Amino acid sequence: MHKSLILALALLIAAVMFYGCSDGISGRKGVNKILAGDTLSLSLGETAYRESDHLRINFESVPLESRCPTRVQCFWAGIASASIELTKSGLGTASASPSISGGGFNPRLMGMLSDTALGYRVDLLSLIPYPEWPGPIEQKQYVATLRISDYEYPDIDTTVIITDLPPEMIQLDPFTLGYVSVASDTLSITLSYGGGCGSHDFLLFMSPDAFLESYPVQANLYLRHDDHDDACDAWITETRRFILTPVRDRFNQMYDSGDSIVLNVFEYSEYTPQSHRHAVYTF
């Protein structure tokens, strides 16, 4: 009996030492939840672990909260961001800052409001509580619902996204414009940027969700350039193509007649912040 008790105590101590010495990447130390799929909810400060790819996810903070509070009239819905730390065995640690607009997740804005790190794309599906007037939200109250999925670079041909977000929420990293032209329903944009050590993403947005009244009407288009922190300084020039059919469809919703739109494509550079080029889209 005495020997059995000693053996049981020894096994218990060994088990405690084994789990206590876990490194938090391949083990459980400091983990609050085990993630089996790609969607989870975390309270601020909580950590989840996914065994299938040895990924650890930590909800660190809410660095930005500018969503329009309830019972307040605002010109736009506002935005909030969450700071998410990802740690993966063999790759180290990196942070992602996905955002959410207004009260809920908007699939049309996924490419702009999501963020990437360590080869993953992080979407912020919800962030509660929602701001109320009066009174701020304490950080410890936040709960974020996230989707963690493998990141795939978009095809060179992407579709214009129509939004009411202001340009300052769309534009990210600088670039200069070359030529713009339209053939059928495709807008081709020649642009240049600094880089050379990684892939760069471009998304094209029409903002606002309306046309400037002229003849023909005009649409303002803004490129969101994500350089993924490419530190190289080679000067890259390339042509990107974007499908214009959402702009045409929006025009047909608003007007009974007409078949042309003047497209104002804006550059994003500290030297020429309002520079833009024109192209006529006829359909």
Percentages helix, strand, coil for the chain, rounded to the nearest 5? 15, 45, 40
Cβ atoms of 95 and 85 closer than 8 Å = yes
Q: Which pLDDT does position 252 carry in this prediction?
A: 93
**CA proximity to 147, closest of 202, 199, 68, 86:** 86
Q: Where are the beta strands (DSSP E) in the chain?
A: 33-34, 39-43, 47-50, 55-65, 79-88, 92-96, 99-101, 115-117, 120-128, 143-150, 157-159, 161-162, 176-183, 186-195, 201-206, 217-226, 234-243, 260-266, 276-282
Between the alpha carbon of residue 79 and those of residues 48, 58, 89, the distances in Å are: 25, 21, 32
Q: Which pLDDT does position 154 carry in this prediction?
A: 53
Name the residue type at position 146.
L
| % of the chain surpassing 90 pLDDT | 47
Q: Which pLDDT does position 153 carry in this prediction?
A: 53
**pLDDT per residue as tens digits for the range 41-81:** 999 999 999 999 999 999 999 999 988 898 888 877 788 99
CATH number for 157-282: choose from 3.30.750.24, 3.40.50.2300, 2.60.40.2370, 3.30.830.10. 2.60.40.2370
Backbone torsions φ then ψ of 120, nearest 5 degrees: -120, 150
Reported as a pLDDT band with limits 50, 70 and 90, residue 25 is very low
Local structure of residue 155 (DSSP, 8 states): P
Q: Give the whole-angstrom CA distance, residue 128 versus residue 176.
A: 39
pTM over 0.85: no
Q: What is the mean pLDDT of the chain?
A: 83
Backbone torsions φ then ψ of 19, nearest 5 degrees: -75, -30
Which residue has tokens 């930590």? Answer: 58
Q: Which pLDDT does position 27 carry in this prediction?
A: 46
For residue 48, count other CB atoms closer than 10 A to its CB. Answer: 19
